Amino acid sequence: MITDATRRDRDGHERQHPVPRPVVALAGVALVGLLAAACGSSTPSASPTTTTKVAAGGPPATPAPSVQVVADAMANSTIGATILVNSAGMTLYQLSTDTATTSACNGACASAWPPLTVASGMTPEGGAGTGGTWGILTRTDGSRQVTYKGHPLYTFAGDKAAGSTSGQNLKDGGGLWTVVTVGATSTPATTPAKTTPTTTKPSSGGGYGY
């Protein structure tokens, strides 16, 4: 198929010349292709998917145990040695019939000689100058009693002030009570042993029998 095209001859007259239709069609197709290419070039391409690599974490850190300072070292002129005292400055004692894993002072005895204890999850530790090895034993009532060098620790209800040692060498509860000393210094041998009835409380009020 052909179509007419207008051209001017040398004399300036317009004349119609037939133009083959396939040429027109091809020109149209080419024009559409150019427009499509132009539009395509202006269309933003999709952003590539990116993956952020997360460093593999190790196992969760084990929480450090909660440490509680339960005792301090204090020079005591009455005993003539450096002794252990609790956080309130009260003298700490040990009982001769105890072992590193068992307390022989329970029930009424523990009222006169309160054991030094720590809450569950707490690790006992001594202050500066105390040295020694600290541990815990479980009492018959389930409480956790502090031990020092393998000896369960107690205070004494008869001590009314910090640094008092009225329980020193007291025989009570089936054993001998002594102040816990620090280092190699031992309790003076001249300190007399005192005996307190274990069944009845004297009328004077000075005993701690039970």
The tens-digit pLDDT sequence of the chain (210 residues) is 545 555 555 555 555 555 555 544 555 555 455 445 555 544 444 444 444 444 455 566 665 669 999 999 999 999 999 999 999 999 999 999 999 999 999 999 999 999 999 999 999 999 999 999 999 999 999 999 999 999 999 999 999 999 999 999 999 988 999 999 998 544 443 444 455 444 334 333 345 555
Q: What share of the chain is helix, strand, coil (3-state, %, to 5)?
A: 15, 30, 55
> Do the beta carbons of residue 106 and residue 137 sit within 8 Å?
no
> Do the beta carbons of residue 154 and residue 94 sit within 8 Å?
yes
Q: Where do the DSSP E strands lie in 13-91?
A: 14-20, 66-76, 81-85
Radius of gyration, CA atoms only, the chain: 49
What's residue 112's pLDDT? 97
Distance separating alpha carbons of residues 123 and 135, to the nearest angstrom:
8
What's residue 13's pLDDT? 57
Distance separating alpha carbons of residues 42 and 60, to the nearest angstrom:
51
Neighbouring residues of 59: CB distance < 8 A, sequence distance ≥ 6: none
Q: What is the pTM of this model?
A: 0.62
- Which helix (H) or strand (E) segment holds residue 36: the answer is helix 21-42
Q: Where are the chain's structural domains?
A: 2-39, 66-195
Instruction: Copy the structure tokens of residue 137.
Output: 């034993």
Instruction: Tally Cβ neighbours within 10 Å of residue 163.
Output: 16
CA-closest candidate to residue 205, choices 154, 158, 162: 158
> Do the beta carbons of residue 198 and residue 210 sit within 8 Å?
yes
Distances (CA, A) of 191 to 129, 171, 173, 187: 25, 13, 20, 8
> 3-class SS at 180?
coil
